[in-house]
A and B are shown apart, each in its own frame.
Chain A
């Protein structure tokens, strides 16, 4: 079976300041919010003073037109919903969607009623439009206004196939997020994970992919062989993961376009814990030889692996620093799992975790400033430390939270939570304060999330 995800760079067009809204005025009917918010179970502390209140009315259209993804009126409403869900999930905004604010006319998009919005305790306003183009694509306009100062802060237009309307919404949310926080964007990105079903002793574990908000979900493997620990390549063209396809654990590269896969390294020894280098040229993996596990590096194209660690015991789970010069990994050479850093060639191995308990599954932030980990001390908790092991912060407090993965901007962490007893799993997201934790909606149970970079 062939699975394919098309990732084409989104065309960003500059919208002229003298942009004329045209003639037709499309009034968007207020309707009940769509079941589009993929993040639920919010424990956000909405009372924080740092949270920005921002209104996101439905996006009007200059002229209602049908597209394969629905009419431009419908798309305008759904784009607004996705922007609202994105901003809310970041924990930094209190977005007011089209169920909470009045509809706007197409004319208003570039001439916002600022005094009206100012009177409603808004700090910012997102307006935009959806317009059908003669070539079958749509343009999604996205404008950000500072309501208090009465100024326009950003404007972008995104030309996409109608089916890619969600990506245009994510790009708009990314633009707003970046402009208002000064951080890099992250909404327009994808996640590979393991979809789980079945009883605890015979779990079916399938490789699956989805957008960062849980949309556009797709199963990749059929579950006949247990799949674990997937990682998207930096260009999203491949997924490296572990499969029991030939009876014992072995790592494979799945090619997203062709649907074909190959073993990374043919050996009778088990290989597991695969990770990409930041440039996508290399794969780190662990291999057990007669009970002794070490970390190896191999070209993504194949060839002979290079052994990077040789301590007796279990060395496992490397993660590159963003510049590729260092690798953080875990080892039990001291007697229990702890976190170590080494140079990319394996030299200068140094332990950096010294707190109580065991430290596992280190993942270097794409920003380079922090390392996320699982602390095992009876319970499993997700936390962060600096690359030198300092400033340890625990972000979650549940029975078993495991395997952090970073948002592409290094400001959020996803992980999976296992329920005591039942073994049921779910994917969660937490910010770096630990105050804002939410469950990601998945069709079935989910584990081993892996967040890819921002799409082009």
Chain B
């Protein structure tokens, strides 16, 4: 099935999300769609799947114009979307999730799970997916859950599959497996759209690449024709550097010393299991690991917002195991939280208010109980300008900023003071090339100024590029160390360690 988008324009009020976009999606081909956050990728795919109606332009399926009045029409026309955030019921089995909403029924409208299981097996065999139809979703790793999403779409007889940032949650090994599935689907004659801002992936898997910038297609090419650097330039609209410039590694004295740290989750299961490590001044330590292996709990415990079950944390030689989050903040520990919208900012507050969220009580911003809003506003403007937070005014609320600018705001708040230890969890998650470049260089500046930096990321390339030493976490334990004189930081080895393989 071939799909043609012609002159699609979609506006939201004054904002033009897509403007005159032409796109062709062909059977047996992987179309790579590359673009920064807010470039209009998601809007375009939502137009294609029937969720939005375009203001101008038309959609042609096999040459015939069609009109979608809702997401149901898109599915009926054979267009399926595999979302970035899975939409699965954790306590249901694979087969139950797959048939949800289109259940095969037996006599008296009873649920016919036998047929469902058989159909899931059939899809499994056709595309080599290897998913047990009777497994519970909550027991499956993320990579397999993603396959369930793919089965869901195939079960609804989709001929066009749209993947929205499919690799964001996968380990390197899972990505390899995922690409195998994509190729199998292509062999079977499906039309595939692969949305991402990761350059090397698109170069690896796509047959044709379209680059979207500010709502418009700014270029089309074949993967062999352009380098990743050229693609990045097309995407951002200015020359960018993909390399992180790093000065030589000259570690100072130990600043953070963690001993036998044990942390429990809320359900009393072990999140971090007897972990010891240290971070020195002038050093970046990266923690690699698939999400959910205890990194979040570790970071929160270091920042003082998660209870500790055992072990000690020492900072500058002082025991801070029981110190409050505020006390640690005042000691010079900065924390860039993993989930900025949940934990990092108050979305309905202005940039100025968010800028002092954890320092409002300080002498600089208040006198007794009275806030000094003039001082707050001036500092906020100064920091926003220095950290390139793009906004018309600091009185704008944070939910009006793009994800990248929100993240820069958090980075500005945490780094524009005298810090000694910087804990950054997924500092560039979901950001585009331009913002990533900027935040990376800021983190490096902090290291060169003498900070100890601890970075947690599931983005292996990022960890390798930034870190002087790499620790790999698996099931709450540190299972491997790379770099700094020890084992060299080889991407493949780290990936294996992340998946739990003994080295």
**Bound pair: A and B?**
no
